[in-house]
Structure 1
Amino acid sequence: MDVSGLPGFYAIAAADPGRRAVIDADGSETTYGELLARVNQVSHGLRARGLTTGDVVAGVLPNGLDAVVMLMATGQIGLYYVPINWHLTASEIAYILSDCDAAVVVTGPEYAVPGGEVGTAGLAEGQPADAPADRAAGAVMWYTSGTTGFPKGVQRKLPGAEPEAIAPLYTWFLGEVVDLRPGDDVHLVTSPMYHSAPCAHTQFALHLGHSVVIAPRFDPAGVLDLIDRHRVSNAMMVPTMFHRMLQLPEETRAAYDMSSLRQVVHTAAACPVAVKQKIMDWWGPVLYEYYGSTESTIAFSVKPHEWLARPGTVGRPAPGFEAKICDEAGKDLPPGEPGLIYVKSSLGSFEYRKDPGRTAASMLGEWYAPGDIGYLDEDGYLFLCDRRTDLIISGGVNIYPAEIEAALLDHPAVADVAVIGVPDEEWGHNVVALVQPAAGVEPGPGLTAELLEHCEPRIARFKHPKVIVYRAELPRTPTGKLSRSRVREDYLAETQKE
């Protein structure tokens, strides 16, 4: 049926219960009606646990039906939902759960945490499948480390209205930014839903009446097969995925039909111009890009034909956003001159949970600084010069040097350490640790193995250094501040000579 006049998932599911909602990673299918029934049961179950508007629920869940259910169940009873990266260590997960004050934690069988419950069955059991009373839109509260390495929840004020009053704003915004429309489209989930963009796009797809296909993991040929087999029309990816798919043999790439694709949205890291051009040569002009952050959401966006006319741009301010470029003193800079990017949104502000000082430090009045350097051209298109100085982005995932340095400094053999991101063709950046050994400690393979073992219980595997090199001394200012930019420049100069 035509769903264009229906305001979001809950209304679509009630009107067209037989509509296909989710094809899970194992191939099982769930209709909109079946999904809504489970969502309603879990909403009732959360209410039965005593949760009320503004309370917090967390999920340590792999991609799959339970993750979708938790997202939509909390989204209609005024709760904050915190998706947690299941690659994190037990102590890292415990920190987030404590900081967000999660009243209920739902996990996958393989990601059990103290006090958590496995899956949504327990919440749904014995509960009615009809809509709960006093429905109100919830919000997702993603945790981001910022530049300090200490995760904080990015919290937005709850709308205070039913989801049906909010969903039309989503559909309008997505239509403006990436040409997505309500209808019978098929959305492919390629990345873990604990990241903000894949999670948000899953929710958006259901509000648009689309079917959601969940990839079990990112595998280049496997994703191409899913696109071909399910006639996928839209997906959210990161540049590393493009690079890996382009590395497939020509005969493998030619074996799959990509003609169903109309919108492939990418974000999270800068995409090399050559890589983006090659993908559009292969798939056609279907790549939509946006730039933003967990805090700012989608601040800039660019459609395929705009990008082809201005290769390298990340777009103009999205609807409801303003942008400016400032110098270090906060003075506005003219077009073409690089500086710190600031954005302002009429769609609502954010705050870091329990950290008003950090919230204030990230703002210039009403303007938020993502921390990146760029410039605007004469037509208002943004070009990034560099990511924030210390942030490492590997495979589309943010990695924060301070957190890794803190873990390594906890080892008695380490006197000092600097962690940097080194450009890598496939991953964007690799993590490199430059270690100054303590007096009397012999650097070498044995120490490297010991340091990596030391990291194992302290930080997630994806944060571990790919390379550890040793230095007699690291450059610090008279006040003790480490000059990572100098460390990076020296390291790159040395490796280029080799």
Structure 2
Amino acid sequence: MTSFNSKYDFELGQCAANYQPLTPISFLERCSLAFPKKVAVIDGETHYSYEQFLARCKRLGSALRRYGVEKGDTVSIMAPNVPALLEAHYGVPMIGAIINALNIRLDADAIAFILTHAETKVLLTDRMFSSVIEDALQKVSHKIIVVDIDHPEISSGKFLGELEYESFLSQGDPGLEWCRPDDEWDAIALNYTSGTTGSPKGVVYHHRGAYLNAMGSSSAFGFTPETTYLWTLPMFHCNGWCNTWGLSVVGGTHVCLRLVDPAAIFHLINKHGVSHLAGAPVVLNMLIHAPKEVKARFSHGPIEIATGGAAPPSAVISGMQEMGFNVRHLYGLTESYGPSTVCVWQSEWDNLDFDSQVAKIARQGVRTISLEDQKVIDPETQKEVPCDAKTIGEIVLRSNTIMKGYLKNSDATKAVFKDGWFHTGDLAVVHPDGYVEIKDRAKDIIISGGENISSLEIEEVLYRHPLIMEAAVVAKPDNKWGETPCAFVSLLGKNGRLSEADVIAYCRKNMASFKVPSEVIFGKLPKTSTGKIQKFTLRERVKGD
């Protein structure tokens, strides 16, 4: 690109006075000045004000530095939605390190891969997960400093390291002089996604993107200083859709939740006047089908609940509305820092009948304020598809809120960054009003309870079974989880004797429980003339069941 200089560039360069790298850490610092005594974090009976929250984050950063963590190092954390995980989103990047929030549903092999690939220097781990973490650490060859997180609600598990989190914090300085990144392009977070290859890919976020998407999410969700946000969405999901930082944009209150339990959710909504929460469709289903004795009528509302993934069925939207919730539908990927589009409600929809309103809400919508551009293109011509709600194309994005790339995987990065766009692999149509609606996934990803599952990863395990000759795994619609894996297998020779229960038991021994197929179907697999298994045919079969 040819540079151009005008009179507006002459002796008008950047300096410290007129340019500072963006970072979401600055949101928390501001809140400690604007709302010093306001409750920032609630965890059971423990409350932290914004000035206490900032001090704890500084202690964490200072303690990590004391134990040798430097700029560019990775700090991993295995924990449910507790204050330690929230504090790590600020304390770790305060010293230029990168936070890697681990998916708490992963098995030891996957965790070991991530710890090795990320070159984790310090691991903060909740005692609840000591068993799987202990197994994972035995598979890692380099030394990792382990800090154990204890909690009043933990009833089992053991300490793996020599340090306990609160003791670790006590060694830190609450007056830490944290520094902005040298460059807002510097990495702030590392999140792993399975993709279609089965090998976890490390998605790298930068400070600028985290700052902007925190503001974008805050706007899309309608956060205000009066917002009280219940953490039903895992903070390890795209750093909690950037809401770990987004609440600090406005000075809202975080309500931590260790386990997603309907009784606890209804109780906390009433106790703390919760105004917002988010989660996969499975969370909405869980609330709708909760026992009558745990459901509660709210003295405030409606409560805003954001959900992504598959479009919420009309019964779910109706059920949530009857309980006092307003459903917001979103779309995004790990690579886009979480939500990139939102179904913005239009006033003219107020007069539509319920079914028509559901049809509108089912669409993923328009880009958030922090997403620069989005379009749906024909994969062959690369031209935009017409806004006719019929022509299917691939969603492509470009923005400051797109990942830096995949860690140590330049081939995968180049494959998705083409012609100045990030290619999502998701297929959609565009309605006449410009709203996007997802129709299918080009990638063979199964989204179960908000978790991405690689079909190829499951197939690899199945192919290792001595009696299985061929295997293909597709997504099967599920009322509770949205989708679950369904395995199609053909057995080796005439002597193969294998039941559905045998295959499921075998899978349970070789993969995380949420990846285990919910159904196994035996028989010959349909193929193309070139011998490729026709997965689209299998998907149609399970849809028709």
Scaled to the shorter chain, the TM-score interval is 0.7 to 0.9
Q: Which residue of 1 aligns with 2:177?
A: 132
User: Which is worse superposed, 199-208 or 229-238?
Assistant: 199-208
- Matches for 1:244-323 after TM superposition, within 5 Å: 244-248=286-290, 253=295, 255-257=296-298, 259-283=300-324, 286-297=326-337, 298-305=339-346, 310-319=360-369, 320-323=371-374
- Matches for 1:368-387 after TM superposition, within 5 Å: 368-387=422-441
How many Å separate the matches in 2 of 1:476 and 1:350? 38
Query: Is it true that 1:488 corresponds to 2:544 in the alignment?
Result: no
How many Å separate the matches in 2 of 1:469 and 1:348? 39
Q: Which residue of 1 aligns with 2:83?
A: 65
2:519 to 452, 467, 470: 467
Q: CA deviation at 1:457?
A: 4.4
2:94 to 68, 76, 101: 76
| Preserved contact between residue 80 and residue 258 of structure 2 (Cα < 8 Å) | no
| Preserved contact between residue 299 and residue 321 of structure 1 (Cα < 8 Å) | no
How many Å separate the matches in 2 of 1:262 and 1:489? 37
* Aligned-partner residue type, residue 318 of structure 1: T
Q: CA deviation at 1:277?
A: 4.2
* Aligned-partner residue type, residue 375 of structure 1: V
Q: Which residue of 1 aligns with 2:3?
A: none
CA deviation profile, 1:371-422 (whole Å, cap 9, x unmatched): 1111112221111212345221122222111111111111212111111111
How many Å separate the matches in 2 of 1:490 and 1:16? 56
Q: CA deviation at 1:11?
A: 2.7
Q: Which residue of 2 aligns with 1:335?
A: 387
What 5-or-longer segments of structure 1 have no aligned partner?
A: 1-5, 161-165
How many Å separate the matches in 1 of 2:419 and 2:76? 32
Q: Which residue of 2 aligns with 1:174?
A: 217
- Matches for 1:158-173 after TM superposition, within 5 Å: 158-159=207-208, 169=212, 172-173=215-216
Q: CA deviation at 1:171?
A: 6.0
Q: Secondary structure at the match of 1:469?
A: strand
CA deviation profile, 1:168-193 (whole Å, cap 9, x unmatched): x4564235422222x13211001332
What 5-or-longer segments of structure 2 have no aligned partner?
A: 1-24, 138-143, 150-164, 351-356
How many Å separate the matches in 2 of 1:187 and 1:423? 30
Per the alignment, do residues 108 and 171 of structure 1 end up closer, same or farther by CA in structure 2, a change over 3 Å counting? closer
How many Å separate the matches in 2 of 1:123 and 1:159? 29
Per the alignment, do residues 69 and 376 of structure 1 end up closer, same or farther by CA in structure 2, a change over 3 Å counting? same
Q: Which residue of 1 aligns with 2:195?
A: 146
Query: Is it true that 1:217 corresponds to 2:259 in the alignment?
Result: yes
Q: Which residue of 2 aligns with 1:97?
A: 115
* Aligned residues between the structures: 476
Per the alignment, do residues 361 and 212 of structure 1 end up closer, same or farther by CA in structure 2, a change over 3 Å counting? same
Q: Which residue of 1 aligns with 2:446?
A: 392
Per the alignment, do residues 158 and 415 of structure 1 end up closer, same or farther by CA in structure 2, a change over 3 Å counting? same
Q: CA deviation at 1:62?
A: 2.2
Q: Which residue of 2 aligns with 1:355?
A: 409
* Aligned-partner residue type, residue 117 of structure 1: V
Q: Secondary structure at the match of 1:303?
A: coil
Q: CA deviation at 1:154?
A: 0.9
Per the alignment, do residues 154 and 216 of structure 1 end up closer, same or farther by CA in structure 2, a change over 3 Å counting? same
Aligned sequence identity (%): 27
How many Å separate the matches in 1 of 2:394 and 2:172? 51
CA deviation profile, 1:59-94 (whole Å, cap 9, x unmatched): 112221211121221132222111111221111101
RMSD (Å), alpha carbons: 2.7
Per the alignment, do residues 324 and 258 of structure 1 end up closer, same or farther by CA in structure 2, a change over 3 Å counting? farther
Query: Is it true that 1:455 corresponds to 2:507 in the alignment?
Result: yes
| Preserved contact between residue 217 and residue 242 of structure 2 (Cα < 8 Å) | no
TM-score, length-normalised on structure 1? 0.87
Per the alignment, do residues 381 and 451 of structure 1 end up closer, same or farther by CA in structure 2, a change over 3 Å counting? same
Query: Is it true that 1:423 corresponds to 2:442 in the alignment?
Result: no
Q: Secondary structure at the match of 2:493?
A: coil
Query: Is it true that 1:22 corresponds to 2:35 in the alignment?
Result: no
TM-score, length-normalised on structure 2? 0.80
Q: CA deviation at 1:7?
A: 5.4
User: Which is worse superposed, 61-70 or 216-225?
Assistant: 216-225
CA deviation profile, 1:92-121 (whole Å, cap 9, x unmatched): 101011111212111111324323331333
